[in-house]
Every structure is written in structure tokens, then in C-alpha cells.
């Protein structure tokens, strides 16, 4: 949200929606860059996911989430309405939880765009502003959220994608300037988890090797594991972070095998990421 990532810095091979998924990101998030229109016509028999456009976050190659959406559309025109779900952020907890929620929410925004749901997009835009305010960086996204709401009324989906991308990057940059770089990493992680949850829902419903290949992204998990290992003690001991840290190695095992990601593994990845996203919404 998804933030989706590659298997290595030398290979641009997509991790939510929004999704990552970079959420600025990171989709599934998890950062989001540009929107590219895919040619109409019959889906190709094979898609080279290694050729997807990407950017680099530290040493990790992160494919553009809208390109990942395009691949999924080629593989079977997913029903994004079934993937989209309400995001409830009324009861906020710690700054740690808010940062993760922000990533999840931005990833959900990309799903809402794919579903072409203007009211959901506007609601998510307002939630992004609310979450940003809760961690003191609302000034960085006020204009972005206003633009998202205005573009949603016009059903200008490309502009909305760009504004969600910009909001994610602006929020994380503001966090870094406030000496909250570790929280910025959690925004990316939240987006990646929701993006991967959404991606596995789509791939699991209409399984194909090309679609499952989008989940083969050990590099992004290596990256997040390193970041979680180096968090300050206060953040590391937060309940939600501890739960996520315990499950990442299991996810790594599921997405890394050279034999590909089987339907059974797709289902298991979905189960774990869905559980972790649910944990993010619960209070510590």
C-alpha cells in the first residue's frame, strides 16, 4: 500500500497495496510515484515482472505500486471493490500505532482508487490528515488531502494516485525532520503489510505464477527486519511492533523459495498479513 519490493537491488521484482507495497512506498506501500496507463487488449501469456519501473529506498528496489496494479489487471481484472474495506481510525493509540495506521490507510487509498470509489477516497484522504495531525505532521499534507478530495469529486484517478504518493513522502520527510525517522519506517511497514494482504487476496482468488511472483520479495523483508532490530528500546517493546517482528521471519520463509510462491503459501501469507493488519488497528 501497497509497498511492494524486489528480491534484490539488482532485480526489480515486486510486496499491498498500496499499497507495497510502499506507502510512500513502500503496498500495498508501500512510496508511490507515478501512474502509467496500460495498453488495452488481451492479457499476455507471460508478464516480465522483473522489468517493472522502480525506485530505490536505501538499498532496496521498490517497484511503482501502480505498475503492480497494472500487472494484476492484465492477469485477470481484479474486483477491487471486494478488496477495499473501511478504515477506522477514531480510537487512536500510541504514536507507534498511529504511524503504522497511517501506512495502512494510504495503502487503502490506492485500493480505493483502483476500485474507483470517490467517497471512499475522500474519507481516506480525511483520515490521512487526522492521523498526520496525531503525530504532529499535518501541515505537510493539508494541501495534499484537499487536492485528493477535490480530485475525487472529479474522478481524476491519476491525480489522486499522485497526491497519495506525495502525501506519503511528505509525511515521512516531515517525520525525519522532526527526528522521527524510526516512525517513518513504521509508516512504510504498515503500508507494506496492508498492500501485501490485498495482493494475496487478489492473487489467491485467481492464482497464476505471474501474479504469485509479485509476492517474491525477500529483500524488502530483510530491510524491515533490519529496521525493526535497530529500533530504540521504547519502540521495539511496543506490543504491536513485537507481534510484527515475531511474524516477519515466517513471512520471509514463505516468499523466498526458488520454487515460487504456491497457492498454499499465498493463502498463508494472506493469513499472517491480515492478522498483523488487524493487530495494528487494536490497542496495545
pLDDT tens digits, one per residue of 176-185: 888 888 888 8
Domain extent, residue 221, equals: 54-281
Q: What is the pLDDT of residue 68?
A: 64
197 found inside a domain: yes
Q: Could you give the number of structural domains in the chain?
A: 1
41 found inside a domain: no
229 found inside a domain: yes
6 found inside a domain: no
- Please write the tens of the pLDDT for every residue from 188-234: 899 899 989 998 998 998 898 888 888 888 888 888 999 899 999 88
105 found inside a domain: yes
pLDDT surpassing 60 at residue 174:
yes
Q: What is the pLDDT of residue 260?
A: 78
pLDDT surpassing 80 at residue 24:
no
DSSP string, the chain: --B---SBTTBB-----B--B-TTT--B--------PPPPSSPPS---TTB--EEEETTEEEE-HHHHHHHHHHTT---HHHH------SS---HHHHHHHHHHHHHHHHHHHHHT-HHHHHHHHHHHHHHHHHTT-GGGTHHHHHHHHHHHHHT-HHHHHHHHHHHHHHHHHHHHHTT-HHHHHHHHHHHHHHHHHHHHHHHHHT--HHHHHTT--HHHHHHHHHHHHTS-HHHHTSHHHHHHHHHHHHHHHHH--TT---HHHHHHHHHHHHHHHHHHHS--
Q: What is the pLDDT of residue 105?
A: 92
Q: With bands split at pLDDT 50, 70 and 90, how would you rate the model's confidence at 90?
A: low
Counting residues of the chain whose pLDDT is more than 70, the rounded percentage is: 70
Q: What is the pLDDT of residue 58?
A: 53
In this prediction the pTM is 0.80
200 found inside a domain: yes
Q: What is the pLDDT of residue 30?
A: 35
Amino acid at each position: 500500500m501497497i509497498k511492494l519490493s524486489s528480491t534484490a537491488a539488482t532485480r526489480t521484482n515486486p510486496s499491498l497495496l498500496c499499497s507495497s507495497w510502499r506507502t510512500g512506498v513502500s503496498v500495498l506501500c508501500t512510496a508511490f510515484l507515478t501512474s502509467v496507463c496500460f495498453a488495452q487488449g488481451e492479457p499476455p501469456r507471460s508478464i516480465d515482472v522483473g522489468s517493472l519501473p522502480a525506485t530505490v529506498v536505501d538499498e532496496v528496489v521498490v517497484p511503482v505500486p501502480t505498475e503492480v496494479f497494472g500487472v494484476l489487471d492484465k492477469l485477470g481484472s481484479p474486483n477491487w471493490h471486494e478488496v477495499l474495506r473501511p478504515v477506522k481510525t477514531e480510537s487512536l493509540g500510541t504514536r507507534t500505532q498511529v504511524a503504522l495506521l497511517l501506512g495502512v490507510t494510504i495503502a487503502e487509498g490506492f485500493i480505493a482508487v483502483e476500485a474507483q470509489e470517490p467517497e471512499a477516497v475522500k474519507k481516506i484522504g480525511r483520515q490521512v490528515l487526522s492521523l498526520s495531525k496525531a503525530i504532529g505532521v499535518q501541515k505537510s499534507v493539508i494541501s495534499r488531502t484537499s487536492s485528493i478530495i477535490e480530485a475525487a469529486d472529479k474522478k481524476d484517478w491519476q491525480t489522486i494516485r499522485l497526491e497519495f504518493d506525495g502525501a506519503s513522502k511528505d509525511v515521512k520527510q516531515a517525520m525525519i525532520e522532526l527526528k522521527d525517522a524510526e516512525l517513518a519506517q513504521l509508516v512504510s511497514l504498515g503500508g507494506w503489510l496492508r498492500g501485501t494482504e490485498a495482493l494475496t487476496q487478489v492473487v489467491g482468488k485467481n492464482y497464476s505464477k505471474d501474479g504469485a511472483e509479485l509476492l517474491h520479495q525477500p529483500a524488502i523483508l530483510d530491510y524491515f527486519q533490519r529496521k525493526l532490530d535497530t529500533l530504540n528500546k521504547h519502540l521495539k517493546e511496543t506490543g504491536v511492533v513485537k507481534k510484527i517482528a515475531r511474524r516477519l521471519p515466517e513471512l520471509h520463509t514463505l516468499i523466498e523459495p526458488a520454487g515460487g510462491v504456491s497457492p498454499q503459501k499465498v493463502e498463508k501469507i494472506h493469513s499472517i498479513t491480515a492478522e498483523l493488519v488487524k493487530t495494528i488497528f487494536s490497542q496495545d
